[in-house]
A and B are shown apart, each in its own frame.
Chain A
Amino acid sequence: MQKWLFLQKQAFKTCFINLKAQPILTMITSMMIGFILIWPTFLWVLSIQAKDIIKDWQSHAYFTFYVPNSVKSAQREDVITRLKATDHVQKVKLITPEQSLKKLLTPEEAQSLLQNTTKNPLPYIVEVYPDAQMLQEDQLMDLYNNIANLPFLESSKNDLGWFQRLSAFEKFLNHFSLLLFGILMLGVTFLVSNTLRMVIHSRYDEIQILKLIGASQRFILSPFLYAGAFYGLLGAMVAILSVNIIICLLQDYFKPLAVLYNYVGMIPLMSVMQVFSVMGIAICLGWAAAWVFVRYYLNAIEPV
């Protein structure tokens, strides 16, 4: 264990000597990794935000049903009682024809309408509010169908079409960012591999000497693994910084857009968890790229 730690310390030291010896290459590689990582990171943050917005909208969702005026008062009360007893229903609100009329028209318009008709033509309206746990589109659909089957409820309307479109968009955004993430991660892998190939080329003689005096593949490989991880870390830092700057710059444009859709909030900066996730993924990618490709390059070098 002590020997292993010593070798890791040596590898770490060698890695930083080499990175320091080629600062421009290190900087360019890290910047390029950073720019590649910006897009999946930004889309990831956006998709999480989109999920929050959809949750927010869904928490305000309610169904509206009409109870015809022909239904007797007792029957209406019975329906309301049954609705209140239904699972996942948080609140039921009954709106009388008079209340609807007041809501729809000004007192003068209502007066004028009632003068021309014998009675208020508007039906009773029942607004059903699902409880806070009902955030999934399919759960809401099930609840809606259950309620719609109750007697005396008619001509209902719901916002599920809107949620369906929104959920579909959110799913698309999620899948798109995952796909983009996969493709761009492949790009990071090849970029790290190509940089390390150049580093290996510039250290060809050194590697030959190390092999000549009996350095194992692991001994020669370890500094490159650390270098790969370090490129990933630096790249992640560039990406995180850039994404947060982009978010700050977009806030002023996001706010009026959000208001139009009844959403009060901002795009939050990346959370600590998100920051560490991006760093972790980038470090692992850099390490993995070095592991796969450097071994291949090193195998081709033999001392003479």
Chain B
Amino acid sequence: MIIFNQVTKRYPGGYEALSQINFRMEQNEMVFLTGHSGAGKSTLLKLLAMLESPSSGEIIVNEQPLNMLKKYQVAHYRSQLGITFQSPHLLNHRTVFDNVALPLVIKGEQDSFIAKRVHAALDMVGLLNKQKMLPVHLSCGEQQRVGIARAVVHKPSLLLADEPTGNLDPELSAEVMSVFTQLNQVGVAIMIATHDLPLIASMKHRMIMLKGGRIC
């Protein structure tokens, strides 16, 4: 369960990206976060990923207040998340397989287990035949899908996706959303920030609309 309690994020210079945000999200929920550019969608996801810290207020994830986490606990917290951004953040000198395997390698899983899970994740995003390629040899859409495969390969308890379908055609977008739905059905909480209103409409999940850093 995720709780945002009076969360405000103010950047140096006084710009307030988020103001007094309050909401709850259940463990098996899938929530769309929408709003115009600069509305605060990415900031909200960054707060959840602990890439930023709130200026005031409290964020609680699975009964753990994030501001109470020690620095060495942050890595463990992030390892339980699945994070995918519009820019896929891939390691360009490592193969697709190695990139997707990273969250499992970090956890110290066995090679055979890693291979099984990576193949399943790549199959899910339709890139199993490209596992030995380097990311630089893939299209933007394919790189995006590698990022998604990496975000879901370790079956995270919370998946944060920032414009996950931004570089994908409608057909692939639908496939990716279907993957997210499957994950959600097995209990993974998913928060997706997107501009794509038709996509949101087609999914029939809760939507949080942000405007000027506030929920409206």
Contact = CB atoms under 8 A, between A and B. Distances in A.
Interface in A1-33: 3-4, 6-7, 10, 17, 21
B78 A213 contact: yes
A266 interface: no
- Residue with the greatest number of chain B CB neighbours at <10 A, chosen from A6, A205, A213, A219: A213
Given A206-B91, A217-B75, A212 B49 contact: yes
B51 A303 contact: yes
Contacts of B90: 209
Contacts of B72: 216-217
A214 B106 contact: yes
Given A3-B108, A213-B83, 8 more contacts: A4-B108, A209-B91, A212-B78, A213-B78, A215-B102, A217-B72, A219-B75, A219-B106
B142 to A, nearest CB: 18
B79 interface: yes
For the complex of A and B, list the 9 residue pairs with the smallest distance between their C-beta atoms, beginning with the closest.
A214-B79, A214-B78, A3-B108, A216-B75, A215-B106, A209-B89, A6-B108, A7-B108, A214-B75
Contacts of B40: none
- Residue with the greatest number of chain A CB neighbours at <10 A, chosen from B103, B106, B150: B106
B93 interface: yes
A94 B150 CA distance: 93
Given A206-B91, A209-B91, A303-B51, A214 B80 contact: yes
A213 B150 contact: yes
A212 B89 contact: yes
Contacts of A4: 108
A206 B98 CA distance: 13
A7 B90 CA distance: 21
- Residue with the greatest number of chain A CB neighbours at <10 A, chosen from B49, B75, B81, B102: B75
7 contacts: A209-B91, A214-B77, A214-B80, A215-B106, A216-B76, A217-B75, A219-B75
B83 A212 contact: yes
Contacts of A17: 93
A2 to B, nearest CB: 8
Contacts of B105: 10
B202 interface: no
A303 B90 CA distance: 13
- Bin the interface of chain B by size: 20 to 34
A213 B51 contact: no
B110 interface: yes
A234 to B, nearest CB: 22
Interface in B74-125: 75-81, 83, 89-91, 93, 102-103, 105-106, 108-110
Contacts of A6: 108-110
A107 B38 CA distance: 116
Interface in A202-232: 205-206, 208-217, 219
A304 interface: yes
A213 B108 contact: no
Interface in B46-92: 49, 51, 72, 75-81, 83, 89-91
A304 B89 CA distance: 10
Nearest to B105: A10
B75 A211 contact: yes
A78 interface: no
Contact of A304 (B51, B81, B83): B51
B79 A213 contact: yes
Contacts of B89: 205, 208-209, 212
Contacts of A303: 51
A5 B89 CA distance: 28
Contacts of A302: 51
Interface in B102-160: 102-103, 105-106, 108-110, 150
Interface string A178-219: 000000000000000000000000000110111111111101
Contacts of B91: 206, 209
A221 to B, nearest CB: 12
A303 to B, nearest CB: 6
A6 B78 CA distance: 21
A210 B102 contact: yes
Contacts of A7: 108
